[in-house]
Structure 1
């Protein structure tokens, strides 16, 4: 019998490629890969754009040239960023953005690469690349910070104050804060890629306490706090402390996510003393004054009264109570003055260190306004390091503050407004500070030059926008003395401002020749506010301040005053105008 065998697929002999065939395939692939490497450096991938400029298929050098030419008119074009109606123009060079054409082409495929995807892209490429930028992160961050200062709407937390002794709530409002890093990235990304404005990204910040929480605080804290006086038991005396004695120091504000009452100890001191004159004796501060051209210190005197810190701590728990629980027991204690004789002596105010006077033509409003400003200014004391503000010191020029209507410069022309003439006091004060060697923090020359003032060394103010500020940068205190000699019909008035302290510098003033002359025109004004005005030439001038000690120059400062031309103003309609 013959034996049969069965052969399955698994037992069949496998067909093998000759070794030289496989070697040929690998050699071909290697040759193509090497060729691809060299090709990647010879021309750009197909259909490639960089910063919206077509560079596909070009040699790298031609691509660089095409990119530079195609972006030339956009390199310095401002980048617009906006939020609602607010818009900002950013010059690329000013915010630290610099375009690198060669690096941009290199990244888009202008250099050799072993990456097979780059090789395939030579034929099938279709991509738009962002430009390569050199970025000064500090400059860009500074630009973003500046934008944020304008755009940011800080969250408004719920708050209750007590003007005139009655609670006044402030509703909470959500805030919007610029997201700095996303905005910086959006600016970088849009450069040379889009002409559309960059939207400023913001984050909404919700208040910690909502309107319901504010309403609850009104009913549970604020309204009970002013519902009745608080009884003070001091020794054998009992008196009612009126609501108006502590509400100037009282607020209800957000603390750790809830509304809580707070009493400011310093703000409590003055109304507390005024309201408890039957208890103890008020402390008296030292006073420095000038008598017979000599600084004189009137000594301070201690008092006996209620300590504000103790009072604040005792009052807080009981102002929301009712009936007999609305009472505290305190002791009268010695009260030190806030400004002692020792404090006054330590300031070293021993001599006049500068004085300056200016004259003004007669006008009743000038006597009133300059006299009132000088009265308020007189006696102002600046400790070392403190900064003087004319607007904070003199206050708003209103009838209630003792000022009258007079002529001011507004919009490049004379107008009648409250407080006219006060700029003469400002100019005189500025010069007194200038020659005392105080640090100029803020001053604004008039829009056009007024020849009764020292050229370049004059200043104006406008309450709410323009101020005169200087810092006491000297080693000792400075006392300001100011007064006027009123004008009369046919005679000028004089305003004088003196600085008293300890002389530290001899100050010398210099000036450059006038330059950049600007010619005035003529304008007609048929409004009821018109004031006739003679023309004045505009110009620029540098003012130099030289500091000397023992005859040696130790510092020098230069500031520039820019005066616009003052048009001739004719009150009435323009001749030849339409009827």
Structure 2
């Protein structure tokens, strides 16, 4: 916001100015600087020192072109102070007319000149952030650190420049935001909370393709504390364009061919893993007919846009889905940070018989 010119004026000072216009009259202030008694050139020099000429971020400085800004200041001072008549009384009246009313000081910088420069500098500094990442390889987690999002606030930086109060170098207003999850969050993922395996017939090639494709979409998913997981949102629409094939599935107590048939085995396996992990189930629907891969009534059917399987992460840290397929099996494990409500999984006995950790198949 521009500072106001503080003008203490009297008839005597106007006469003095008119008779000796080489000197700036008493009481003439701009940007808090008293220019009384200075020549016009000296007054300009004083104010020119108040104009910032560069911005900075961290240890880097970015010079500004301020040619038009200086020209604006010179023209403004001439308009306010330089007489335009050879008669002293005309100049006295002109001075009274120009200076007798409180007026706004000029901006330190020309906005049209400087704003494009700030936008160009912002492009050099702005950085798209990246959250930390975690992957499981050979039975061990590897964590990759993320980077913050960096964004120059151009409008606020302009305000700071125009209110710089004599600073030649003005720091840019920069927003730095660390993205979630961070490295510390992910390094806490170490405890196995759930582990469930189901089996399929690999001779049913279309169905097997669909089971593996959905497993690939699920693998590596992170769920934030109190976050909601949606099977349909993660796996997406099951269509031939995305690689899913027609396979048999249950609809209204009938067996029909449908794109993506078989992926209910993925959602049902995940359902049992979530139960073992003591997570809050938000939505689960059962098939119209019994399935073979989980006990009767313990399945979780899905239909994109109609039926979903959803649960909430009620633990205190991020959860990680480790989803693998073998020659005839699908195994899903949930890892996180164990607590009283979500203890480390005790090795389950009986159904299902878990496969060896090796022999998993990556879908290309």
Query: TM-score range with shorter-chain normalisation?
Result: 0.5 to 0.7
2:362 equivalent to 1:497: no
- Structure 1 counterpart of 2:129, from 283, 295, 303: 283
Instruction: Report what 1:544 is aligned to.
Output: none
With over 3 angstroms needed to count, the CA separation of the structure-2 counterparts of 1:420 and 1:238, relative to structure 1, is same
Give the alignment partner of residue 271 of structure 2, picking from 430, 438, 447: 430
Give the alignment partner of residue 227 of structure 2, picking from 354, 371, 386. Answer: 386
Question: Among 209, 227, 238, which residue is 1:397 paired with?
Answer: 238
Q: What residue is the counterpart of 1:537 in the other structure?
A: none
Residue matched to 1:118: none
Find the counterpart in structure 1 of residue 195 from structure 2. Answer: 355
Q: Deviations over 1:111-138 (max 9, x none)?
A: xxxxxxxxxxxxxxxxxxxxxxxxxxxx
Q: Deviations over 1:420-452 (max 9, x none)?
A: 111010111111111111112211121111223
> What's the offset of the Cα at 1:343?
5.6
- Greater relative contact order (Cα < 8 A, sep 6+): 2
Q: In the TM superposition, what are the counterparts of 1:443-482 in structure 2 within 5 Å?
A: 443-482=284-323
Q: Deviations over 1:48-104 (max 9, x none)?
A: xxxxxxxxxxxxxxxxxxxxxxxxxxxxxxxxxxxxxxxxxxxxxxxxxxxxxxxxx
| Residue 297 in structure 1 maps to residue 143 in structure 2 | yes
Q: Counterpart of 1:484? A: 325
| Distance in 2 between residues matched to 1:383 and 1:484, nearest whole Å | 25
> Which position in structure 2 is the counterpart of 1:375?
216
Q: Which residue of 2 aligns with 1:521?
A: none
The unaligned stretches of length 5 or more in structure 1 are 1-231, 240-275, 315-330, 488-492, 511-579
Q: Please say if residues 265 and 293 of structure 2, whose CA atoms lie closer than 8 Å, have aligned partners that are also in contact.
A: no
In 2, the alpha carbon distance for the partners of 1:473 and 1:303 equals: 28
Shift of 1:463: 1.2
Give 1 or 2 for the bigger CA radius of gyration: 1
C-alpha separation in 1, matches of 2:261 and 2:181 = 38
Cα root mean square deviation, aligned: 3.5
- Preserved CA contact (<8 Å) 2:230 2:309: yes
SS in 1 for 2:240: coil
Match of 1:74 in 2: none
When the two structures are aligned, how many residues end up with a matched partner? Answer: 219
Q: Whole-Å Cα distance in 2 between the matches of residues 462 and 438 of structure 1?
A: 22
User: Structure 1 CA distance, aligned partners of 2:316 and 2:120?
Assistant: 48
Distance 1:475 1:416, change over 3 A: same
Aligned counterparts of 2:219 and 2:117: Cα–Cα separation in 1: 39
Q: C-alpha distance in 2, partners of 1:300/1:381?
A: 15
- Counterpart of 2:63 in structure 1 is none
Residues 279 and 313, structure 2, Cα contact 8 Å, conserved in 1: yes
TM-score (structure 1 length as normaliser): 0.34
Do the aligned partners of 1:375 and 1:482 also contact (CA within 8 Å) in 2?
Answer: yes
Question: Any unmatched runs of 5+ in structure 2?
Answer: 1-114, 159-171, 350-364
The residue that corresponds to 2:17 in the other structure is none
Q: Report the CA distance shift for 1:375/1:332 in structure 2 as closer, same or farther (over 3 A).
A: farther
How far apart, in 1, do the equivalents of 2:303 and 2:247 lie? 13
In the superposition, the TM-score normalised over structure 2's length comes to 0.52
CA 1:484 to 1:342, structure 2 compared with 1: closer, same or farther past 3 Å?
closer
Q: Deviations over 1:149-181 (max 9, x none)?
A: xxxxxxxxxxxxxxxxxxxxxxxxxxxxxxxxx
Residue 234 of structure 1, CA deviation: 4.7
Please name the residue that 1:145 is paired with: none
The answer to whether the 8 A contact 2:321-2:334 is kept is yes
Question: Aligned-pair distance for 1:419?
Answer: 0.9
Deviations 1:320-375 (A, max 9, x none): xxxxxxxxxxx684643422535624x83122221111111122222322222112
Q: 1:371 to 1:234 in 2, by over 3 A?
A: farther
Q: After TM superposition, give the deviation of residue 459 of structure 1 in Å.
A: 1.3
Q: By how many angstroms is 1:409 displaced?
A: 0.9
Contact 1:388 1:469 in 2 (8 A): yes
